Structures are given as structure tokens and as C-alpha cells.
Structure 1
């Protein structure tokens, strides 16, 4: 190890920087870029007297370098170096100078061509803003998008002239001063020839910028344990390289998976949590509910840390390597296999909309064993969950008439390197009550059907508070000419799903056309409102929506919601409510739509003997 104190200018001239693919790609946004601009402005004065200049601190950098290479991998500090590089690109564009000439820098490999294109656009100086915008729209990785956005932010900071609009105003005439501030900035550098030591520092060291993710902490923890417990230094180097290769794949999958609709806002750390619940190192057969959270005391990092502590020295290396390898496999399944299967059978994605917690475990295991869209397995899984939810909501579980369920045994029945017949048969046995799924479970189909009828009033009067109502409304739409891809894209993709009251709870008497100016008018309006409120929270008065549309449409009459419903692709809802104009008919209209939805649930969900034969 060597430690040096340098100016930043000396630092960048002396090394050839590479960001390894197992590292997090560029992640800085406006929240980090504006303080960077402010730092430069704070150290820039209006005179040429160097005696009163203050020194800018540009942070601590950790590099890893093997003795055989002239390349230095950036273990920590790559966000700052990347940002300075992008800033100098913009400065060079404005001054027609090559300020990056002395910096040898390569981003992660999957962003290399994109960065070259940014440089080419700036160097040609023709339609720069339009070309950057076009590149932003076509970029395949979120990290490349953030680089383009950083370049655009720096350009804007130079072009803004009104201080009231933007306090981070840069002056092109002062570019020479800015570069001098950066070159003379103080920084400290630690260089390691040992990947494992560098990774331990990375685990513990967190500087100003984006907080270390749970995934990054897990990566460093695995690398550290491999180094400590490998038989020889050579074995450690080989094993650590395997971990790096797997995390390189993981981070690349993460960038490519950002546009996959079914992930919604699911972060890489969340996927790690689901992976550990479902697979861990590939040998998991129990405890499918742990880790309990993404991070924290019962989160992913602490879960793996505890698991490592329970293994002997001979097991640790194999366990750590399998964690990384299997996590990369899970990312491949989520990024490619699930979306491809969903194109052929949308029930794959539907099951994630219905119950992400259970279905993610189910699918991560199932796709390792075969294709769950064959032999009716995905149909049975979705229908099993739907009937379970109907039974639960209608009091069978909620009122403690039954206790523990046995989803654990369903997951256990999906074994790696085997077909899915065992799981398929187990679902059938639970459905027919050949095996007990839960205390007093009874026949799944009959129980769901009976409770559906017994609790009929609940659907008419009180479906609003149930978190599965959105899914039943979604299924109702796609059964009636609505396109699942449109509804998913417009409502579910951003996790912005909301439930809208078609006849708004906040509608006024004036909206309903009533004047409460006489005793008779008051009596009539009160009777009408009593009828409407008796069913206002029933499923017939509810529609899929988004949080933003629900907010803007919330107190309008039914026809005032139609444009939103049309935009979302809710064909059946639009067809049914376009004629809801007479307030005297609202209660009847709501009740009729409730019956339409209940008929659909009864025929297309509860009585699905075709998939259980």
C-alpha cells in the first residue's frame, strides 16, 4: 500500500483510471452536482492575488493496481473523478480547448461508447442540445443518462444569467480560474496492490456523495471473507476475480433492466432482498421470509453477515462465491427471462402485480427449474393467490378462523435442476383438499365461492380499503377489451396505482344539480345522497387510476373522469360510465357495475375448473 497527498492536477496526470464493471456506474444527479458547482464558486475570487486563495479539497481516492498493470481501478472516488471529467468536457466545449487531454479515464465498459458519443457531440458543436436530448432518449443505461444530464446541467449553469433563477451560475470567462482551482485542489490517495484490502476499505469508507447501497456493502463483505479464508494468496486472487465478474454482470443487468415495466420502482437492493429470500446460495429450502427488510438490522447485509458467521472456514469461500453467482443468475431471470415469458403469457407479470412478495420468490425459483408457463402452472399459481385473497378478505383468515398458511411448502416443492411437476401437483392437492394448506382450509374453490356469496354485501359497500381491489379491477378491464400492456404502462409501471371514486365522495350538491332551498328539496337531496353513500365505496364505484390523476379528478362528476380513464386504456369503465349523467341513477348505476364485476369474478376467477382438471 502507498498513501500520497497530491494536488488533484498531479493526481490525474500520474495514473490511468479505469472503472471496473463490478463497480456502481455513474450515479450523481442534481443533488450532488449543484454542491460541486458551489464548491468551485466558493473558491473562486475576483482578483489575481494567489495569497488570499483558499484550497479546495477534492476528497480521498482509493485505487487498486496489480504490479503487472499500468491501469488503476478506482475503488472509491469514481463519482468525483467522473464528474470532474464531464465538467472539463463542457469547459472545453465552451473554450474550444482540450482540457481532458491529460486525464486517462474509462467508465464502465457498457457506457464507454456512450461517453465517446457525448465527446463527439460537444466537439462538433452542431445542434448540441438537440443531439444530447436525442442521445438521452435512446440511452440504454441509466448511468449514461445521468452523464448526459450532468453535461446539460453544467451547460445550463454557464448559460444562466438570472441569479434569482439559479444561484449556481458559472461564467465562461472564468473557466481558466475554475480549472486552476480543480488542478490545485488538495486530495489524498491510497493505492493497494491487494483487491481484498481495497474492498475492505471500500466497505468502511463512505465519502460525500451517494450513500453506499446494500448491494455494494454485500459485495465488499463477500470479497473480504474470500480473501481472509482462501487457502493461498493465489486462490484469493482467483476467487475475488470470480466475485468481480459476477458483480460486473449484476450491475450491467441492473442498467439494462431499468425499463422493464414489471419491476416498477424496485431497486437493485430490493431485488437482492428477494433473491436472498428465494435462493441465497442456491441451496435454500427453508426460511423464505428472511431477510425481513432491504436494509437495517434485519436487512440483506446483516443477513449475509450472520450467515457467514455460522459457517466454518472451509464453507465460507464456496458460500460467498455462490451468493454472487446465484444473484447474477437472478438478475438475468428478472431482466430477460421473465419479460420474455410475460410476452407469451401475461400472467407471469400479472402475478407480480397481484403479490410481488410471494410471486418474486415463486418465479425466481421456478425459472431455475423450468418454464412455469407450461402445464398450467402459472395459471394455477395466479388463481391460487386470487382465491386465497378472496377467502382472506372475506373473513376466513381475518377473523382468525384459520391460522398459518403453508406457502413455504410450495416454494420448497420447486427444486433446482428438476421439473416443476411437484409444485404443480402440490397446488392441485391443496386446491382439492387432498393436503392441508392451512388449519380449516377446506376445498379452495368451494371455500372461495361460498365466502364470495356470503360476503356479497362487502363488494357492494366496502371494497375501497382492500389493497387487492386494484388487481380485480385490472382483470375486469383486460377481460373486457382493455389491453394489459396499456394499463400496465400507464398505471402500474411507476408504482403509481391508485383507486378513484367514479362518483366522487367530495361531490357537492351543486354538482348534483340540487338546490337545498326548501324543506322538500333538502329531503329529496338527503335521500338521494343516502342511497349514493350506501354504495359509494363499493367496487362498482371504483376505478383504476394514478395518484396524480386521482388528485386532479377527485371531486368531479363521472363524465369529468372519462379523459383520464381513456388515457389509461380502461375500455370497459369508459363504456359503462359515459352515460352516468343523471344523479338520480348513480346508486343504481353503481350497483349494476358491481354486479358486472362480481359476475366476472365468479365466472372467470372462482369457477376455473379448466385449469384445475
Structure 2
């Protein structure tokens, strides 16, 4: 343990590198603004810097196990990176070199990007334009955040000497002094024993760690404690670090390439533990139940470690890291590539259908064979849809029927191919595993579909699968260009949004009864208006009156008449819907038009989804 007196002594004494097994730069406006406010708080705006209050810049953990001239930053890299970027901006504004004597390297995949930021600021030409270009061409989210930090710092400076709420260019030297004189504490470890202490150090200081970082620290701690020799511990910890280096590198790619909205790392970890864990999972596919908290990923791994002996703990910890890295490759490389193959997009569709079930299925399927079996994915989609049709129509609500999915997941074993799963899905489809009351899934789905016809016509709005059926209906009838537009515009947030074609808030005036409020209760026109609205209300939540939408379109289209939304439907690629709704002009025909569209959609669902014996032959 070594205590440094000032941040300047600390930052100029060592050569710093952020190891790839640490997360890359992740600070945004939420963290950067308090940093700016801290500097302003410690600067009293008078000419005497001697009475400025002392700034505490935190605790830092460094590791130097190879006796090299570079120290790895185990904890504190976000602060050091931020200060480094701030000094770059200050240097740009004052035409001084405030990073002189500071030797700092980010994660390897952002090293060239940081050099480009420095070059742009040093040349001082078209800085805003060049930063914007670099932002657009950035390959990692962490580099984008560094550029955004530079832009935020640049914008935070004011040329006004009287503005106390922002940084002042004329006071930059004072800000540098505050940072240089700030206190900080430093812990330096010359061996991998830091791995056994890092978790406690984080927790006792009350630092908010991500669930993934807590799991990484927990694995490293247990590896160190339970390895048979110090040499073995060094080797095992190195394996953990290498796998997490890969994990954090792919984290930067995950949200950019993921098919349906963002995919945060902690969410991926939760799905990984549900699906794979250490590669030996054959049951309990619903745990962890959440990505954090008492039923989250960290507590799940902690409990799993607690029931294992010394040798098992080491093997388990190493396998968790190894398999998690493999899951990251599947999510960032294998799944996106498979989804694009032959413009298929079926992988993305089943994720849209049911992300929780389908991610477990896919994380196991991509491990069981080198190339994905699209017929298996088609069966999976059809199986889940038929299951949901039966479930939605009021049957089989007991948990025992839902839990049987675990057997399907377990049939997808590494290096076993897809035959076991294909066979088991077929047995489930024929009704062998869900219990005596289930029957043949395909035939039962047809039966429930026909029996539930009135429900489809009158009340499908609240059912989460209704949007998926509408999605399949639209892409089946649309051109390739329209289909791509639907996928990119509608499903950015990993969910389906649906809206009413005939709005529930439609006014009586819009129905053609402008004088409605002035009519007495016995007036025939008022009775006529009420009867018309009653008929419309009976089908207003039916499948035929629902269309895919976006949150912004829901808001902008508001409660206008159906044909006022035509351009919105066309813009989103809903060509079939636009064509149908063009005729929805006369309110007296709304009910018949809704029923016609319902019949068309239900006919499509029956032929394309319910009546698919060809998939199961």
C-alpha cells in the first residue's frame, strides 16, 4: 500500500494501461457533469489559489505483477480517463500541453481512436467537424463516449468571465492546479493477490459495480483462494482475465449489431446463466430470475459456488468465464450473421416473438452444431406460437405445463447436433410431454383458434402476441424493401408497438355527428350515433382494427380518422394496411371494414401459422 500526496505526483509517477479484461470507457453526461461541478465547487473564482478547497480524487488500485514499467489500472480507470480527456480539452483551449509527463494507454481496441482525438485537437483545424466524422466512424461504443466527453467538456467552457455555472477558459490554469493538488490514495499490488481483495475493496467503498463486474471479481477471488498453488492461481486468474477481456471487447459490439434494440452486458449475463452457465446446465432454466438484486446473476453464481468443493470451484469459475465469452461471440457474431443469411431474418423473428425463451434456445442451439438448422428454427417459432394460441384462449394456466420447456432446452447439448431437439419438439407437438389434457399441439391449436374466433374479432389488443401476428402479416405481403423498413423502423426497442386504426378516442363529430352534444336523449340522430359507436366499440380492440406502429406515430396520429394515417402506414412499410385503410372513410362502414380485415388476417394466421403440418412431417 502506498499513499500519494497529490494527484499530480500519482499521475506523473507511473505509466498507466487499462487491461482489456477491464470495461472500456463508460462515463457519460450523468457522470461528467458532476465532475465539472466538483471542479467549480473547489474553485472560489478569486485570484488567490492558495485558499481553494482541497479536492479528493478517489482511491486507485494498480497491479504490476510482471515488474514492467507499465501499471495496470484495476480500479479508477474511469476517473483517470476522464481527467486525461479534460486535460486534452484544456490544452486545446489554452494551446498548452497539460498531458506532458502523463503516460496513459486505454484498452487496446481504443488506443488508435484516442490518438486520433489528440491529433484533431492538436491540429486545431475544423475540430467540431473532425470530431463528428470520428464519432460517425467509431468502431466501439467506448470510443464514442470518449469523443462525446471531449465535446461536452468543450461546450462547458464559456468565454464570459461572469458565468459561474460553466467553466471559464481564463481560469483553466486554476482548474489544472485544483486537479494537480487533489488528494488521492493508491494501492499497488505486485502479484495476483489483488484478485482476492478487489471485491472487498469495491464493496467497502460503496462503489456501484455492474453485475458483470461483481461476478468477475467473485470468480477471480474464488480462483485465487481455491487454486492448489500460487503458480496455479496465477495461471487460472490469467485465464479468467483473458476471457473477460474478450467479453468486454465484444460488449462494445453487442448493442450495435444486436437484432432487436440494445443488449446491455448485464442482461446478456443473465440470459447466459439461464441458458448455459458453465456449459453443464440441464435444468433450472428460469434462474437467475433477474439481472441484479437478490434473485440476480451475482447471487446466483455466489450460491452455486457455495455448494461446490475446492476443486469444483476452480473448474466452475473458469468454465463460467469461458462459456460467457462464447455466448458473447454467439450474440455479436453468430446470431447476426445467421439472421442475415439468405435474407432469412428468422432468428430475429423468434427473438421478437419471445426473447426469454428464444435466447435460451439459441444460446444452446448455436453450441450444439457448427451451422444452424433453419427447419429447427421454423419448428421452434411454430411451436411457441401454437402454444401461445392455446394458452391465450384460457387453457393450461398451471405452471407444470409451462415448465416443460426445460426438457426442450436440455435436448440441445454441445456437439450433439439438432436431432435430439428436433425429435423432442415433434413429441411435444404431438402432445406427449405436456400432460394428458394437452393433446396434439397442432390440432389443439386449430381447435382453440376456431373456438376463440369471437375473441380475435373483439379483444386482441392486450395480448402481447397480437403484434407479432400483425408483423408476420405485414412482411408476408410486403416487398423486400418494405420488410427491411419494418424491421429497422418498428423494432429498434426490442418490442412491438400496436395502435388502433379506428381510434378509441374518436369523437362523435368525427363520426359525422357535429351536433351530438346539442341533441336531446330522445333524438333519433343521437340514438343513431350511440348505436353506431356501440357497434364500433364491439370490434375496436379486435385484430382487424390493430396495426403496427411506433411510439412517435401513436402520439402524432392521435385520434384522427383512419384514412388520415395512410401516409404513416406507407412510411413504415405497411403497404397492405395502407391499401385496406384507404377505403375506411365512411364511419357507417367501419365495423364491416374491421371485420373484413380481421377475416383476412385470421385467414393468414391459419394458413401460415396454425395449419403447418408440412413443418412437422
The corresponding residue for 2:241 is: 244
The corresponding residue for 2:45 is: 46
Equivalent residues of 1:491, 1:546 under 8 A apart: yes
The corresponding residue for 1:143 is: 142
The corresponding residue for 1:572 is: 576
Aligned positions of 1:133-532 closer than 5 A: 133-159=132-158, 168-198=165-195, 200-202=197-199, 204-205=201-202, 211-344=208-341, 345-370=344-369, 373-374=372-373, 376-398=375-397, 403-433=401-431, 435-481=432-478, 483-495=482-494, 497-515=496-514, 516=516, 517-518=518-519, 519-532=523-536
Q: Aligned partners of 1:477, 1:130: CA distance in 2, in Å?
A: 41
Deviation at 1:230, TM superposition (A): 0.8
Equivalent residues of 2:196, 2:225 under 8 A apart: no
Q: 1:549 aligns with which of 540, 547, 553?
A: 553
Deviation at 1:326, TM superposition (A): 0.3
Deviation at 1:404, TM superposition (A): 4.8
Q: Aligned partners of 1:86, 1:207: CA distance in 2, in Å?
A: 29
Equivalent residues of 1:157, 1:168 under 8 A apart: no
Q: Aligned partners of 1:348, 1:251: CA distance in 2, in Å?
A: 24
Q: 1:190 to 1:30 in 2, by over 3 A?
A: same
Q: Secondary structure at the match of 2:73?
A: strand
* Alignment deviations for residues 488-545 of structure 1 (CA, whole Å, 9 cap, x no partner): 2211122353221111101111222212144122112111111110100001111111
Q: Secondary structure at the match of 2:493?
A: coil
Q: Aligned partners of 2:63, 2:400: CA distance in 1, in Å?
A: 58
Equivalent residues of 2:260, 2:494 under 8 A apart: no
Deviation at 1:188, TM superposition (A): 0.9
Equivalent residues of 1:497, 1:544 under 8 A apart: yes
Q: Secondary structure at the match of 2:417?
A: coil
Q: What TM-score do you get using the length of structure 1 for normalisation?
A: 0.95
Q: Secondary structure at the match of 2:588?
A: helix
The corresponding residue for 1:98 is: 97
Deviation at 1:195, TM superposition (A): 2.7
Equivalent residues of 1:32, 1:209 under 8 A apart: no
Equivalent residues of 1:63, 1:192 under 8 A apart: yes
Deviation at 1:477, TM superposition (A): 0.5
Q: 1:610 to 1:496 in 2, by over 3 A?
A: closer
Equivalent residues of 2:468, 2:496 under 8 A apart: no
Structure 2, unaligned runs of 5 or more:
none
Q: Aligned partners of 1:92, 1:456: CA distance in 2, in Å?
A: 70
Deviation at 1:376, TM superposition (A): 1.2
The corresponding residue for 2:603 is: 599
The corresponding residue for 2:118 is: 119
The corresponding residue for 1:131 is: 130
Q: 1:116 to 1:209 in 2, by over 3 A?
A: farther
Q: Which moved more, 1:144-153 or 1:497-506?
A: 497-506
Q: Aligned partners of 1:31, 1:64: CA distance in 2, in Å?
A: 29
Structure 1, unaligned runs of 5 or more:
none
The corresponding residue for 1:538 is: 542
* Superposition misfits of 4+ residues, deviation over 6 angstroms: 207-210
Q: Which moved more, 1:562-571 or 1:6-15?
A: 562-571
Q: 1:475 to 1:204 in 2, by over 3 A?
A: farther
Deviation at 1:35, TM superposition (A): 0.9
Q: Aligned partners of 1:188, 1:148: CA distance in 2, in Å?
A: 28
Deviation at 1:86, TM superposition (A): 0.4
The corresponding residue for 1:608 is: 612
Q: Secondary structure at the match of 1:258?
A: helix
Deviation at 1:67, TM superposition (A): 4.7
Deviation at 1:196, TM superposition (A): 3.7
Equivalent residues of 2:91, 2:97 under 8 A apart: yes
Q: Secondary structure at the match of 2:59?
A: strand
Q: What TM-score do you get using the length of structure 2 for normalisation?
A: 0.95
Q: Secondary structure at the match of 1:543?
A: strand
Q: 1:117 to 1:404 in 2, by over 3 A?
A: closer
Q: 1:578 to 1:349 in 2, by over 3 A?
A: same
Deviation at 1:374, TM superposition (A): 2.4
Deviation at 1:47, TM superposition (A): 2.7
Deviation at 1:208, TM superposition (A): 9.3
* Alignment deviations for residues 277-324 of structure 1 (CA, whole Å, 9 cap, x no partner): 111111111111111111111111011111111111111111100000
Q: Which moved more, 1:69-78 or 1:242-251?
A: 69-78
Deviation at 1:552, TM superposition (A): 2.5
Q: Secondary structure at the match of 1:190?
A: strand
Equivalent residues of 1:161, 1:169 under 8 A apart: no
* Alignment deviations for residues 339-397 of structure 1 (CA, whole Å, 9 cap, x no partner): 11111231111111001111101000000011574261111010000100111001222
